[in-house]
Every structure is written in structure tokens, then in C-alpha cells.
Amino acid sequence: MPGWLTRIPERTRGSGDLAAWVEPRRPAYLVLDRRRYPEACAELLGQAGQRDFMTLFATTPLAPLIEASPWLVELEVGSEAWLSGEALCREQRLGWAFQPAPATPLTDLADHLRRFFVLDDPHGGQSLVNIQDPAAWTALLTAGSDTTYAQLIGPLGRVVTPTPQRHWLAWQPADSLGNADALPLTQELELALKESPRAWWISQATETPLPALPPEWLERLICLAAGGITHGRDRTRLLPLICQASDATWRDAQAILVDPSLTAVQKTGELERLS
């Protein structure tokens, strides 16, 4: 299993309903990937209990991408808008929640989050990180050092993310490091971000919590991707092979995956017959 997955139990406090992790008498916030469900997010802004929101790419070098910008939405806990947003995040992987200390300005929270959309990568360039995606945010919170974890949490206070099983996972509190130096995208963080969509997909498809994923499942997904099999529908057809194949059967599968004479469609058919 990738090392970052094993740290999830160490850095979290438990899973369950979102209501168990936030106080009802003060506002909480959602970071939403509004580009995936723009109409549902727009409806959220008109519902009772929505107090304020900011477009996170505004006033940043990413402003030309404003139409794809995530939103930071302030909500009354338990309100109509809160329940709608909670369902979007939990059921559609549309975002995640947090509740900072009382009287924390919305602009401070937005400025904190804006620091992590573009990070210096290990190759001497910069990478755009979709921190609004719970899979990516989970990878960042889990894969970095304790210092990195504290930098990410910062003033956010109580951070709660959806899981592939459509529960909510609460993260341990961390002391804010204030305006610490820019967070670098280390090789470990970069690898975790690349692995996180596959880990999330197979965790959801098999109802296996992320920390319990067998390492060979993820290794086999990597082999499928290298062989050109990347679509979810094709991977779903091959779930029995991914999760149950013996070592001997998997060796036969690998021979098919590296066969240059076969298309991805043909490989999928051949692999399905093995399972």
C-alpha cells in the first residue's frame, strides 16, 4: 500500500455524519468544485442559510480561469443550503467542509486556500493542484510531513472530508503556522496526488476504506493504465481480475497488457476472459 494511505488513521479522528464534527451555532464553510455541477452550486447560493461566498481564483494569477474556479461558501450549519451542499460533497465528491475559530474573516480563509492551488513541483516548474477535490485534498493532508499538514490546515480549524464510502472523515487539529514559506510539491506529495484518483475509485467500487486497500490492487490499476485501460467502465468490468486474480493469472494478464498488437478494447476483452 502507498505509504500515504497508511497515515490516514494517524491524522484523523473518526468518520460518520458531518453534523458530529461541526458546532451548530456558528457558520461553517464548503470548498466546492462548482465547475462539475454549476447549476446545483448556483441553486445553493439562493437557498436559506447561505451567508457569503468567494470565487477562489479571483485576484490571483488564475483569474483568467475564473469560470472553472472553485467556490468558498459560508453557510449556517443545519440550514437548507448546508444540507444541500453536504449532499453534493458526500455523494458527488464535489468538495469538503471546515469550521474555523469564531470571527475568522472570510478573506483570510480564502487567502489561505489560494496558496495551495499552484505549487512549485520537483521538476523545476509549477503544478496546478485541485484542492477542491476531496481525493486530492486527502492526499495532500496525508502524504506530507507534520509541518506540511499544519501548513495546510492553518486557520481552517476543523477539517472534514467525504470518503469514497460517502461518509465524512474528521481530521486532527493542527497548530497554524501563519504565513509560513510557500508549500513545495515534494515528490511524495506529487506521487500521492497521482495515485489518489485510482485509490478513490477502487475504494468506492469495492466499498473498501482507503487505509485498507491491498497494495496489489493499486499496482494492478497502474498496470492497466500503462496498457491503455483507463476508463472507469472498463476497469469496472475487470474488477474481479484486479481484486481476485492469482499471481499466475496476473502474469497472463500482464502479457496481454504489454502486447503491442492489441488495442485497449481488445486487451479489455482478453483480460475479462481471464477473470
Grid cell digits, residue 193: 496526488
178 and 222 assigned to the same domain: no
176 and 221 assigned to the same domain: no
- Count of domains in the chain? 2
Q: Is residue 112 part of a domain?
A: yes
How many other CB atoms are found less than 10 A from the CB of residue 225?
13
Whether residue 102 contacts residue 26, with contact meaning beta carbons closer than 8 Å, is answered with yes
Q: Is residue 44 part of a domain?
A: yes
38 and 159 assigned to the same domain: yes
pLDDT one digit per residue (tens) for the chain, 275 residues = 568 899 999 999 999 999 999 999 899 999 999 998 899 899 999 899 999 999 999 999 999 999 999 999 999 999 999 999 999 999 999 999 999 999 899 999 999 999 999 998 888 888 999 999 999 999 999 998 999 999 999 999 999 999 999 999 999 988 655 445 568 889 999 999 999 999 999 999 999 999 999 999 999 999 999 999 999 999 999 999 999 999 999 999 999 999 999 999 999 999 999 87
Q: Is residue 8 part of a domain?
A: yes
Long-range contacts of 119-128 (CB under 8 A, 24+ apart): 119/182, 119/183, 119/184, 119/185, 119/189, 120/182, 120/184, 120/185, 121/185, 121/190, 122/184, 122/185, 122/186, 122/187, 122/190, 127/185, 127/190, 128/62
102 and 232 assigned to the same domain: no
Strand residue runs (E) in 100-182: 118-120, 126-128, 158-162, 168-171
Q: Is residue 201 part of a domain?
A: no
147 and 226 assigned to the same domain: no
Q: Is residue 204 part of a domain?
A: no
Q: Is residue 208 part of a domain?
A: no
165 and 270 assigned to the same domain: no
178 and 257 assigned to the same domain: no
* Domain end residue (candidates: 130, 165, 185): 185
256 and 181 assigned to the same domain: no
Q: Is residue 209 part of a domain?
A: no
> Rounded to the nearest 5°, which phi and psi values hold at 130?
-85, 75
Range of the domain at 246: 214-274
* Burial zone of 63 (CB within 10 Å; 0-12 exposed, 13-18 middle, 19+ buried): exposed
